Amino acid sequence: MQNRKSDDSEFVFPGIGKSGHIQEPRKGWERILKSAEIKDLRLHDLRRTLGSWQAKTGASLAIIGKSLNHKNQNTTAIYARLDLDPVRDSVNTATSAMLAAGGLTKPGEIVQFKKKK
């Protein structure tokens, strides 16, 4: 791998073929999995993991798409939906604001409503 590395290549894994990059390093990948005693892990799983972590750590869709070589930003947008922490944080913030507006500042406080007669 080291002798193939080229600092001026746009690819992480440059290759000597027409595409300019390694497309399917099947034999090497099989050796790695066997040596690590890992079963059922595909290279594409690593791509998805990278994209997910990039989204989780705040990378823009443009950066994620470029690093995964996506042609369509809709493909990349999938990774932005994976991290639910911002959604959860937003719901918690809004809920706290609503409770505070109603004079209820303790999260989890149960309020009994008067029964209708």
Q: What is the pLDDT of residues 88-104, one digit of tens each?
A: 888 888 988 888 888 87
Phi and psi at residue 39, to the nearest 5°: -115, 145
Residue range 1-28: average pLDDT?
70
Confidence band for 27, pLDDT divided at 50, 70 and 90: confident
Phi and psi at residue 34, to the nearest 5°: -65, -45
Domains of the chain, by residue range, sit at 7-41, 42-99
The secondary structure of 63-86 as a DSSP string is: HHHHHHT-S-HHHHHHHHTT--HH
Residue range 77-86: average pLDDT?
75
Q: Report CA-CA distances (Å) from 42 to 19, 26, 39, 79, 114.
A: 21, 10, 9, 18, 58
- Alpha helix (H) residue ranges in the chain: 26-36, 43-56, 61-68, 73-80, 85-101
Q: What is the pLDDT of residue 104?
A: 76
